[in-house]
Structure 1
Amino acid sequence: MRGFEAASGLLKDRIRSAGESRGFAVTRLLTHWAEIVGEDLARATRPVKVGYSKGAFGATLTVLVRATEAPMVQMQLPMIKEKVNACYGYAAISRVMITQTAPMGFAEGQAQFAPAPKAPPKPADPAVLAKAHETAEGVRDEGLRAALETLAQNILTRRNT
């Protein structure tokens, strides 16, 4: 690669080994939990561990749940198992267990269930905005002009960093 390397590329092996130590052969289960089980369940749950027992078929997924949400999540365990197995591509999980926690407490209880809000975008440099507007000035179509201005802003901003 030229220049800086993406942080994900530098940390990929360490993340994989940390995930595998907890039983997560597919780290996508951790990184895309909200996409796999849905936004509502992801706010109330978090995968903690995948355990494999000797002589048994399939693994056990342990999910961390707030105590107040546990009865509702309990009813959705078959659906969670189905969606997680779809993520793996085969029937890897045979059982889903719930571990209840309080919103405050010891290490596992301090888990943040809701994702952090996205940071607001940085305001663009006025010189970059003026140069981008100047670049797309001759275009008559409004939509095309706006797209070209955005493209010019992205290119000019990338050069400055």
Structure 2
Amino acid sequence: MQETRPARRYKGPPPISARLAAATREVLKKQGFADLHIIRHWPDIVGSSLAAVSAPEKLTFPRGRAPQEDRKRARPEGATLLVRIDGPAALEFQHLEPQIIERINTYYGYGAVQRLKLVQGPLPRPKPPRNKTFRALSQEEEQVLNEELKAVQNHALKDALKKLGSRVMGTVRRRP
């Protein structure tokens, strides 16, 4: 007779996504979003070119209707999605409104959104990538680095450590 072992439990910390979802749930609920799904997948829904100039802000349901989280059996249909659009792309977005609504509803599999409300205004700008600058090492710094790496026998490891050391020592700090 074969014995079955109980399932092994994971004893590590919970994933960050679970904590983030719990932390943002109330804020998103006030904006009409049951979860981050439409915000996270906006580029997949409308395409990368339109997603670059727009962002979903609020999902409003008609009176007497509540998000799916509150109504267990019936799906909420006919919501209005408030979309912030940057600059002159609002005209293009308005022209493509029927196709965008169709894409959203196709993505979710039911008539989740009935109409779009477009608000023209600036989008929050993404943070520019941080390009670190490195200065060349002085003779003394180069000599100290070579002295530290003298004992390393493996050439590939020595080269990697030398590159790392020169980057660490040559980092230019920005003033706050």
Residue number among 19, 31, 54 corresponding to 2:28 in the alignment: 19
Counterpart secondary structure, 1:94? strand
- TM-score, scaled to structure 1: 0.61
Tell me how far apart the structure 1 counterparts of residues 79 and 56 of structure 2 sit (CA, whole Å). Answer: 13
Contact 2:84 2:123 in 1 (8 A): no
- Structure 1 79/117 Cα, relative in aligned 2: closer, same or farther at 3 Å? farther
Partner of 2:43: 34
- Superposed CA deviations along residues 33-65 of structure 1, whole A, max 9, x for unmatched, are 111111011011100101112168611001000
Give the partner amino acid of 1:50.
L
Tell me how far apart the structure 2 counterparts of residues 25 and 54 of structure 1 sit (CA, whole Å). Answer: 17
Gaps of 5+ in 2: 1-9, 66-76, 132-155, 161-176
Larger Rg: 2
Aligned pairs, number = 117
- Structure 1 100/26 Cα, relative in aligned 2: closer, same or farther at 3 Å? same
- Structure 1 position 7 matched with structure 2 position 20: no
Partner of 2:54: 45
Partner of 1:111: 124
Contact 2:32 2:59 in 1 (8 A): yes
Partner of 2:145: none
Partner of 2:80: 60
Contact 1:29 1:87 in 2 (8 A): no
Counterpart secondary structure, 1:72? helix
Tell me how far apart the structure 2 counterparts of residues 58 and 116 of structure 1 sit (CA, whole Å). Answer: 38
State, as a whole percentage, how many aligned pairs show the same letter.
32
Counterpart secondary structure, 2:110? coil
Gaps of 5+ in 1: 102-108, 120-125, 131-161
Counterpart secondary structure, 2:103? helix
Partner of 1:97: 117
Counterpart secondary structure, 1:50? strand
Tell me how far apart the structure 2 counterparts of residues 118 and 78 of structure 1 sit (CA, whole Å). Answer: 39
- Structure 1 13/54 Cα, relative in aligned 2: closer, same or farther at 3 Å? same
- TM-score, scaled to structure 2: 0.56
